Amino acid sequence: MQITLLVKNYIEGIVDYIDFISNMDDDSKKYLNELYQKKHKMGFINEAIYEKFPNFYKKFEWCINCGGGFFSKSSLYNFVYDIVLIDFPNCKKYLKYEQNFNLSLSAIPDYLDGNEASKYIEENIFSKMPLDLSRNQQIKYIKEQCKKNFFIESNKIPHWVQSCEWPIQNNKPCRYIGEKRKGNLVMFLFENVDTHNIIVIKQYY
């Protein structure tokens, strides 16, 4: 079976993550699964990994269910790219997803390391970052814009008990106010900066 146009364009960076998963057709799935099984027969997939993901579809679902953030996009692209290498060992890798993920590890603070927050940062900060910045300048720019866009003042930040659940409403981050604790319950209080409504995020130890 020949490579489909969708897979080819995704590997080359012509089709982005959203369009790829939205337009994933049966032929593309079948082609990638055939390569995945071929890769396993060649001994290139660890048996423990194969037991968890016995076909392309399982690993594909796992990647996209990571939330669509930097890790999810990088994981899916690298997964598909590594499969396609079986047929096209000399195909050039599109580095955007991996570069953005590595940059996010250095620039995005832990308290913003959540799916919704990551999606906002990618769409509203990474996409608007000047292209001529050095890596250190990129990190500085992202950190400054995160503080500005998420209304961080005097290092007042939530100390999440679980993963980050920073609320985004109408494509704008809410302002963190503080937290209340009651036994194993921690309530993180946020304010919608436009409506001044209070949003409560509940997490448990």
Q: What is the pLDDT of residues 144-188, one digit of tens each?
A: 999 999 999 888 999 999 989 999 999 999 999 999 999 999 999
Per-residue tokens: 62: 């796992």
- Are residues 113 and 74 part of one domain? no
Domain identity same for 114 and 200 = yes
DSSP 3-state percent helix, strand, coil across the chain (nearest 5): 50, 15, 40
Tokens coding 47: 């048996």
Same domain, yes or no: 69 and 128: no
Question: Which residue type occupies 59?
Answer: K
In total, how many domains does the chain have? 2
In which domain, by residue range, is 177 found? 109-204
| 169 three-state secondary structure | strand
Task: Name the more confident of 180 and 115.
Answer: 180
Nearest one of 80, 90, 89 to 9, comparing CA atoms: 80
> 185 with 129, same domain?
yes
Is pLDDT above 90 for 68? no
Under the banding of pLDDT at 50, 70 and 90, the label for residue 113 is confident
Does the model's pTM come out above 0.85?
no
